[in-house]
Amino acid sequence: MPGTRAPGARRSLGSGGRDGVVMDPQLGHGRTVRRRRARSIVLATSATLALGLALLPHPAVTTPWLVVPLQALIPVLCLVVAVAAVAMALVRQRWAAALLAAGAAAGLVPALVPTALTADSSTAPAVAGEAGELTLLSLNAEYAGADPAALAADLEEHGVEVLVLVEADEELVGELRARGALDGLPHRTGEIPAVPQGGHAGGAVILSAHPVRSEGVLPRFAGFRHFEQPVAVVQDPELGSVRVVGVHPVPPIGRDFVPSWDETLNGLDRWQAGRAEMPLVLAGDFNASWAHPQFRALAEGFTPAAAASGPWPGPTWPVGSWVPPFTQIDHVLLRGLVPQDYRRLTFPGTDHRGILTTVTAAGA
């Protein structure tokens, strides 16, 4: 009716309201309080996520065991948080965006290949020759399922002189031999047992174009499960003696496996520290990435072959899955040697990419 006003409103004396009516100031104040509260919640959540991601690559713990798989997921987590930072920026949550971006960067940096991490040439073991190259291929054959035809073709194409196979068996080796792929790799470590230590995933072998002195397998470091990890001294005619280890800790999945994984990496670190008399190659499926502090501790003083490809050479696992490859757990670590190149090779029948690298003597 004429002359009536809505409850909670008053007639404007100026030009501030529609049709001369403005809302109660308390309603506007309530909306402002709610907006500020929502911004505070978003900011606190962003700060918590950023801090957690920044700290995640650093604790070398096995309890709770989920920490180790989460560390493997750091590249994925950083990508998700980076996308969230962009979304926050678009809705003008600039402080939240800055925190998320900083957390993603802090979490990702330890997961990058440290291209400046090289063995000091002044302390590197001497090699017999001043020149020469050695081409090495390392591959997890996934329960010996890697396609022998594809593997044989790459061995020939790239002139591989040392082949490190983990999760292999004698049947796969026999198929390679039948195709003539091992004519150029006549020397090897011992025969793979029908049931290797640690189960069918535990078989491994090192094959070489040059004479090999087998040093057996690494000691059993882990209490629960331990895969066989062969050790061989390759007598390269130009580089001299080079010790090669086929590395394969158990995967860090589960309450029992994570401690064994940790014990194997720590045991390998202690083992290699006492063997500095000749160049050393650690090659295989480490089931660990640069995001794991245990792996970074082991790799200290080594030159990663991946350094030849920059700080992000790309993931090596899982291949051919509904999940795209997201982590680099296959490595070649060098001491007393320098990588000249680095390539990831894909083979049907295995969910790992092979690592191909050519190395020379340090300081040559």
Tens digit of pLDDT at every position of the chain (364 positions): 444 554 444 444 344 444 555 556 666 666 776 777 888 898 999 999 999 999 999 999 999 999 999 999 999 999 999 999 999 999 889 999 999 999 999 999 999 998 765 444 334 554 444 579 999 999 999 999 999 999 999 999 999 999 999 999 999 999 999 999 999 999 999 999 999 988 999 999 999 999 999 999 999 999 899 999 999 999 999 999 999 999 999 999 999 999 999 999 999 999 999 999 999 999 999 999 999 999 999 999 999 999 999 998 999 999 999 999 999 999 999 999 999 999 999 999 999 999 999 999 987 6
Determine the pLDDT at residue 226: 93
Assign residue 172 the CATH number of its domain.
3.60.10.10
Task: Report yes or no on 126 lying in a domain.
Answer: no
Q: Which domain holds residue 28?
A: 13-111
Task: Report yes or no on 41 lying in a domain.
Answer: yes
For residue 58, with 0-12 CB atoms within 10 Å meaning exposed, 13-18 middle and 19 or more buried, which class applies? middle
Neighbours of 275 (CB within 10 A): 14
Task: Report yes or no on 1 lying in a domain.
Answer: no
Residue with tokens 């750091």, as numbered in its chain: 74
Whether residues 175 and 307 share a domain: the answer is yes
Inter-axis angle of helices 170-178 and 148-158, nearest 10: 60
Whether residues 182 and 250 share a domain: the answer is yes
Candidates 87, 81, 126; CA nearest to 107 is 81
Phi and psi of 254, rounded to 5°?
A: 110, 155
Domain count, the chain: 2
Candidates 314, 317, 320, 361; CA nearest to 342 is 314
Assigned token pair, 93: 């949550």
Report whether 151 contacts 173 (CB < 8 A): no
Distance of alpha carbon 113 from alpha carbon 306, whole angstroms: 7
Whether residues 96 and 158 share a domain: the answer is no
Distance of alpha carbon 213 from alpha carbon 232, whole angstroms: 6
Whether residues 98 and 153 share a domain: the answer is no
Assigned token pair, 152: 């044989």
Distance of alpha carbon 52 from alpha carbon 353, whole angstroms: 30
Whether residues 89 and 189 share a domain: the answer is no
Task: Report yes or no on 142 lying in a domain.
Answer: yes
Distance of alpha carbon 236 from alpha carbon 234, whole angstroms: 6
Whether residues 189 and 64 share a domain: the answer is no
Task: Report yes or no on 5 lying in a domain.
Answer: no
Distance of alpha carbon 212 from alpha carbon 21, whole angstroms: 94
Whether residues 87 and 191 share a domain: the answer is no
String of DSSP letters for 108-173: HGGGS--TT----TTTSPP-S-SS-EEEEEEEE-TTTTS-HHHHHHHHHHHT-SEEEEES--HHHH
The kind and range of the H/E element at 242 are strand 240-247
| Alpha carbon 347 to chain centroid, angstroms | 19
Whether residues 44 and 139 share a domain: the answer is no
Candidates 343, 345, 347; CA nearest to 357 is 343
Which residues lie across from 150 on neighbouring strands? none
